[in-house]
Amino acid sequence: MNSDFDTQRKFFSDYRIRLRENIDLKSEITHSIAAVLQRYDTKVWENRFIVGGVVKQIIGSSARSLGFNIRNAGKNNQGYDLELSDDNAAGISIKAVFASVNGKHNLINKRGGVTNDKDIDRWKSATMFVLSGIGIGYVDPVFCSDLVTSSGDAIQISGKGIQNFWKTYPQWFIEIDIPKKIASSNSRVASDAVSFDLFQDFQTLRKSQNQSTFGNSSSTQHNLTRVQSVVPVRGMDTGENSRYVTNTIIGAPT
């Protein structure tokens, strides 16, 4: 059956097949999500945005490693997060949920807009949900418009409803271990990494941040030393610099 979402459905279907055959990559997805949840506890409000953004990067990177020509496009497009290689610039939104997975999940924030019966028609994006303790699944407005409701602040979809949809149509679901949120007494905040990147140009602030923000553990200080010594000589542009600094601070491969 032809629909407005043929491109997105084909991408998810192919991604599901290729990922199923790549056990090592599935393990990396699981462990990388666990790592960001541990290091950036989402009980800290600002971390919720960074964790969601990192999950989108994880899904995008995993797709590219499987041979898909896609790009992470969230910064350029508010309608979707992954732009597929397609003449129509088709895209898919990524939603990560680590609490109350059976509840209602926001599709579009209305920011206090007036609720009316036509609100649910504003959801126009194919969406991949990454649900803690459940897995990864695909939905779109043709498949699941009956599960969408509108509240004062958001257009939402039923978490329980989409799980039932995947049980009925398992071809739109990927069985993969998505970790649950972990409470951490040593959680970092997202602004630590961003401010460290910024402070490379402000030496007095940088020295003070090294001592107070990141502590004096040998592993952290080793990572900070790598940043200080490598960034100036790599000739990186701003995007590369930011990615390198962030990955180094959290101890990720660079």
Q: DSSP alpha helices (H): ranges in 40-127?
A: 45-65
Amino acid at site 99: A
Give the contacts of 191 (CB within 8 A, at least 6 positions apart): 46
Q: What span, in angstroms and rounded, lies between the C-alpha atoms of 41 and 48?
A: 8
**Separation between Cα atoms, residue 190 and residue 187, nearest integer Å:** 10
Q: How far apart are CA 155 and CA 152, in angstroms?
A: 8
CA distances for 101 relative to 41, 135, 178, angstroms: 17, 11, 12
Q: 6-174 has which fold?
A: PvuII Endonuclease; Chain A (3.40.210)
How is residue 39 written in tokens?
């290091």
**Model pLDDT, residue 90:** 87
Query: In the prediction, which pLDDT does 48 show?
Result: 87
Give 222-241 pLDDT, tens digit per residue.
554 544 444 443 444 444 44
Average pLDDT over residues 5-33: 96
Choose the weakest-confidence range: 37-46, 83-92, 135-144.
83-92
Answer yes or no: is pLDDT of 7 > 80: yes
Give the highest mean pLDDT range of 57-71, 110-124, 178-192.
Answer: 57-71
In the chain, domain spans = 6-174, 190-249
pLDDT at 119: 74
pLDDT (0 to 100) of residue 153? 84
DSSP state of 181: P
Pairing of strands 126-131, 91-97: parallel
pLDDT classification of 35: cutoffs 50, 70, 90 = very high
